[in-house]
């Protein structure tokens, strides 16, 4: 599925990958994830996309963002929007689909293989467009959660589907105790 001389780029939809791993009962060790894909090919870039709550004094995702930034990941962030839903619950919205799509299309002429860490069906047209440019696309998500975290149309479009649960022993670590603050799972991508 991977060739050692392939130029790779990773595109990580942070909130989507977090939710998929959480549904499977483990956390991602990003150092191991980066090492695993560097072993599989010539990794040019590893992008991580997430929205941040800028108005909070402390964002629980900030330490992860800082660590990723200092450890070889290209961070793409933007302020999340906070709102109250019809039930009076505090919600956070932060969709990074456009940013990820633009970056993938710009990098397409320089890579052979894109690895997309997301199950979001909105990425199907991106995958199709990358394939028309001669880029192979692997998608990492899970069908083992209830409901499955990957959209069927995205799974059918990609060249290679990688079941996240099968990467557990390679890139996973046991989950931490839940924090009382806002967590990545609260950031919706609608």
pLDDT at 57: 61
pLDDT at 83: 83
Eight-class DSSP state of 180? S
Report the distance separating Cα 88 and Cα 106, nearest Å: 41
Tokens found for residue 31: 């150092």
Report the distance separating Cα 78 and Cα 102, nearest Å: 15
pTM of the model: 0.87
pLDDT in tens, 45-61: 999 999 887 766 667 78
Residues forming a β-bridge with 141: 163
- CB 76: neighbour CB atoms within 10 A? 18
3-state helix, strand, coil in the chain (%, to 5): 40, 30, 35
pLDDT at 21: 95
Report the distance separating Cα 182 and Cα 160, nearest Å: 34
Residues forming a β-bridge with 172: 28
Could you list the pLDDT tens digit for every one of the 190 residues in the chain? 889 999 999 999 999 999 999 999 999 999 999 999 999 999 999 999 998 877 666 677 888 999 999 999 999 999 888 888 888 887 777 889 999 999 999 999 999 999 999 999 999 999 999 999 999 999 999 999 999 999 999 999 999 999 999 999 999 987 666 655 545 555 555 5
Q: Which DSSP helix (H) or strand (E) runs through 94? A: none
């Amino acid at each position: 599925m991977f060739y050692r001389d392939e130029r790779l780029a990773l595109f990580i939809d942070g909130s989507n990958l977090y939710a998929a791993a959480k549904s499977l009962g483990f956390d991602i060790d990003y150092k191991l994830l980066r090492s695993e894909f560097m072993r599989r090919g010539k990794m040019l870039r590893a992008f991580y996309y997430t929205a941040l709550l800028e108005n909070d004094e402390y964002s629980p995702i900030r330490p992860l963002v800082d660590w990723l930034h200092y450890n070889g990941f290209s961070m793409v962030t933007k302020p999340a929007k906070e709102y109250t839903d019809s039930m009076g619950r505090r919600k956070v919205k932060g969709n990074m689909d456009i940013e990820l799509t633009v970056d993938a299309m710009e990098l397409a002429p320089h890579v052979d293989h894109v690895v997309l860490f997301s199950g979001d069906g909105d990425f199907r047209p991106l995958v199709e467009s990358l394939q028309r440019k001669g880029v192979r696309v692997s998608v990492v998500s899970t069908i083992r959660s209830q409901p499955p975290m990957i959209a069927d149309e995205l799974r059918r479009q990609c060249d290679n589907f990688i079941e996240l649960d099968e990467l557990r022993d390679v890139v996973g670590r046991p989950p931490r105790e839940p924090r009382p603050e806002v967590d990545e799972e609260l950031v919706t991508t609608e």
